[in-house]
Amino acid sequence: MADLTGMAGHTVSRRGRFLLREWSLASLLLAAAGVVSLPPVVFILMNSVNTADPTDPFVFGFDGWVSGFANRKTLDAIGYSFLLSVRTLIGISAAFLLSWLLVRVRVPGRAFIELSLWIAYFLPSLPLAISWILLADPNYGVLNRFLTPMGITLNPYTFTGIIWVHLTASTIPIMTILLMPAMRQLEASLEEAARVCGLGSWRTFRYVLVPVLAPAMLTVWLAGVIRGLESFQVELLLGRPANIDVFATRIYDLITWEPPEFAQAITLSTFFLGVLFVLALFYQHFTSRRQYATLSGRGTSFRQVDMGSLRYVVSGALIVVVGIAVYLPIGTLVLGSCMTIFGYFDIADPYTLDHWRAVLEDPVFLRSAQNSIILGLATAVLGVTIYCLFGFALVRTQLQGRAVANVFLWLPWAVPGILSGLGFLWIFLTVPFLVPLYGTLMSLVWVLIVKEVPIGVHLVKTSFTQISVELEHAARVCGCGWFYTLWRITVPLIAPTLIAIFVIVFIASIRDVDNVVLLTGASTRPLAILMMEHALGGQMESASIISVILAFFAVGVALLMRRFSGRMQM
């Protein structure tokens, strides 16, 4: 009895400790998820009714809304943002056809075409925009040297020009990459049944394949619209001369002008946050119901669609298109970096390495390169660690508040880079204990980690769920604590995914412009921003040199990643 009472007295404190532990872990998870993803959104929403500048005290008012929506340029920017989204419709149609040709027809040379798509996907869009300027500028564009005599003059500084660069550089490659798995998992018997009951190849395609894949296409298309609305770099470079503004470039202008128009920028941001939030809700709605009986999980063997010798024609055409869309711009960049004055082949010494020498010796370049590498490595290392812990907490624990944390962690996906940058700029200017972070690389690392949270956590969660929990339980029962189990059992098993995430985050960080452009200063400027500044300043030769270096990084790392892509779930 004495024993029992002694124990009872002892256990009260243990129970208290136990509850405290559960409660504090759960709130820690929520707080961490919130701190990671909420600040920019909260700050933007809060300050949409603030008429004062960030460093001044809060003044309630709707001036921003009034002046913002009375401004003709702002309204035009909103209009163009939506109008340019039309490209996603072209993109999804092309991507569907392309993935069908690659997966079902299995055209010759599909491995090369697929690799090219990955390369295009990993190439930053700014270098591609620069190379299309080099190719199609009305004054010195290489293509125009041949085309103008024939009565055609290309001009990249147009609505069509912007759409073309987007489609070839990112929209079609990423949509195709996303649609291919769905195309692969399609049960062969569906097509076979259609064929047997008398539908020809075309009508099988039209009446079976397209409707069955429609939901997958819808989600990919919605994702394309959401991501497309945030685009910034191409519009800045190509839209500016044509007087085409989208909301991201408009916000950039409002902030960087003297004096900055914070109130207007914030209200425009709030408006787009609303639009994107609605789109993201739709997207979540469709993806959460994406279990279709028709898409079996097995890697089904399906009958190849036989096109006869036509497939060689198709393959040839595709390779030409890929050549024009992917390799022509890359080649042009390399060429451009080695020319005395770009586009002038007739002068005495058209080719030179002087620009390379000048750039590589430029202390500003060296500083920026160093910044980029530090930024990439720090973001990737810290990011993978943080995503891993979040993934663990969300999949492997029963903590309260996981559902809310899931939503928080998904949020940055719908927030355009420029808005996130704006939100963080405001935070670093106004939150007292965060002010020291302003103007440091650490602030950029934070912003970039937040940007990649959705994809990073999603990939970690997927690979966690693919590992039998019994492997971890076996370790726990035979004496390993939870962290040791995570370290010795789980992490080695999901290592391929973690490496893939590392690569994705690294590439995304060194090429990012949108998120960091409002936050960088002379001492923290990374290569991507330097490249943008050179291109905007008309120094095309040095801009293309930095582009080549960045592209080399991105493609090199992308090739590295392809070795893991088989085991990766994109």
Partner 1 sequence: MPSAAPIVSVRDLVKCYGDVRAVDGVSFDVYGGEILVILGPSGCGKSTTLRTLAGLERPDSGEIVLNGKVVSDPEKGIFVPPEKRNTGMVFQSFAIWPHMTCGDQVALPLKVRGHPRQDRRERVRKMLEFVDLGGLEERNGTDLSGGQQQRLSLARALVYEPDLLLLDEPLSNLDAQLRQQMRVELKGLQAKLKATFLFVTHDQVEAMTLADRILVMRDGRIQQLGSPGELYKDPVNPFVHAFLGKSIHLDAERVDDGGAAYARLADGCRLALPDAGGVAAGESLMVGLRPEDLELVGEAREPGAGELRAAVHNLIYLGDRYELALETCGVEFVISLEDDSQVAGDRVLLRVKDGRLKVWPT
Comparing CB distances to partner 1, the nearer of 248 and 475 is 475
In the complex, least distance from residue 10 CB atom to partner 1, rounded to whole angstroms: 9
- Beta carbons of 284 and 224 less than 8 angstroms apart: no
- Beta carbons of 172 and 287 less than 8 angstroms apart: no
| 45: number of Cβ within 10 Å | 15
Comparing CB distances to partner 1, the nearer of 477 and 522 is 477
From the list 217-225, 318-326, 489-497, 510-518, the region that binds partner 1 by CB under 8 A is 489-497
Q: Which residues lie closer than 8 Å to 65 by C-beta, 6 or more apart? A: 48, 267
In the complex, least distance from residue 478 CB atom to partner 1, rounded to whole angstroms: 4
The binder of partner 1 chosen from 73, 206, 290, 473 (CB under 8 A): 473
Residue type for position 561: M
The residues facing 351 across adjacent strands are 339
In the complex, least distance from residue 2 CB atom to partner 1, rounded to whole angstroms: 16
The binder of partner 1 chosen from 57, 308, 363, 479 (CB under 8 A): 479
Does 484 participate in binding partner 1 (rule CB under 8 A)?
yes
d(CA 435, CA 437): 5
d(CA 413, CA 280): 9
Of 96, 176, 108, 94, which Cα lies nearest the Cα of 314? 108
Q: Which residues lie closer than 8 Å to 182 by C-beta, 6 or more apart? A: 213, 216, 295
Task: Give buried/exposed letters for 104-118 (b at 16+ CB in 10 A, else e).
Answer: bbebebeeebbebbb
Does 299 participate in binding partner 1 (rule CB under 8 A)?
no
The binder of partner 1 chosen from 308, 363, 492, 521 (CB under 8 A): 492
- Beta carbons of 383 and 13 less than 8 angstroms apart: no
Residues contacting partner 1: total by CB under 8 A:
28
Q: Which residues lie closer than 8 Å to 58 by C-beta, 6 or more apart? A: 50, 52
The binder of partner 1 chosen from 206, 488, 563, 567 (CB under 8 A): 488
The binder of partner 1 chosen from 25, 279, 328, 480 (CB under 8 A): 480
Comparing CB distances to partner 1, the nearer of 334 and 493 is 493
Residues numbered 6-35 forming contacts with partner 1, rule: CB under 8 A = 7-8, 11-12, 14-19
d(CA 129, CA 535): 10
Does 211 participate in binding partner 1 (rule CB under 8 A)?
no
The binder of partner 1 chosen from 1, 150, 477, 522 (CB under 8 A): 477
Which residue has tokens 């592209």? 551
Does 244 participate in binding partner 1 (rule CB under 8 A)?
no
In the complex, least distance from residue 271 CB atom to partner 1, rounded to whole angstroms: 42
The binder of partner 1 chosen from 123, 128, 244, 475 (CB under 8 A): 475
Does 196 participate in binding partner 1 (rule CB under 8 A)?
no
Residue type for position 24: S
Backbone angles phi, psi at 224, to 5 degrees: -65, -40
Does 328 participate in binding partner 1 (rule CB under 8 A)?
no
Cα dihedral 48, 50, 53, 57, rounded to 10, equals: -140
d(CA 526, CA 437): 17
In the complex, least distance from residue 24 CB atom to partner 1, rounded to whole angstroms: 15
- Beta carbons of 443 and 428 less than 8 angstroms apart: yes
From the list 4-12, 135-143, 153-161, 207-215, the region that binds partner 1 by CB under 8 A is 4-12
Does 567 participate in binding partner 1 (rule CB under 8 A)?
no
Q: Calculate Rg over the CA atoms of the chain.
A: 26
The binder of partner 1 chosen from 478, 521, 522, 538 (CB under 8 A): 478
From the list 293-301, 389-397, 480-488, 545-553, the region that binds partner 1 by CB under 8 A is 480-488
d(CA 8, CA 354): 82
C-alpha separations of 569 from 84, 445, 461, 524 in Å: 30, 25, 11, 34
From the list 127-135, 400-408, 463-471, 508-516, the region that binds partner 1 by CB under 8 A is 463-471
Comparing CB distances to partner 1, the nearer of 276 and 489 is 489
Comparing CB distances to partner 1, the nearer of 15 and 72 is 15
Any idea how long the chain is?
570
Does 218 participate in binding partner 1 (rule CB under 8 A)?
no
Comparing CB distances to partner 1, the nearer of 341 and 480 is 480
From the list 157-165, 314-322, 458-466, 468-476, the region that binds partner 1 by CB under 8 A is 468-476
Please report, as ranges, the residues that interact with partner 1 according to CB under 8 A: 7-8, 11-12, 14-19, 468, 470-471, 473-482, 484, 488-489, 492-493
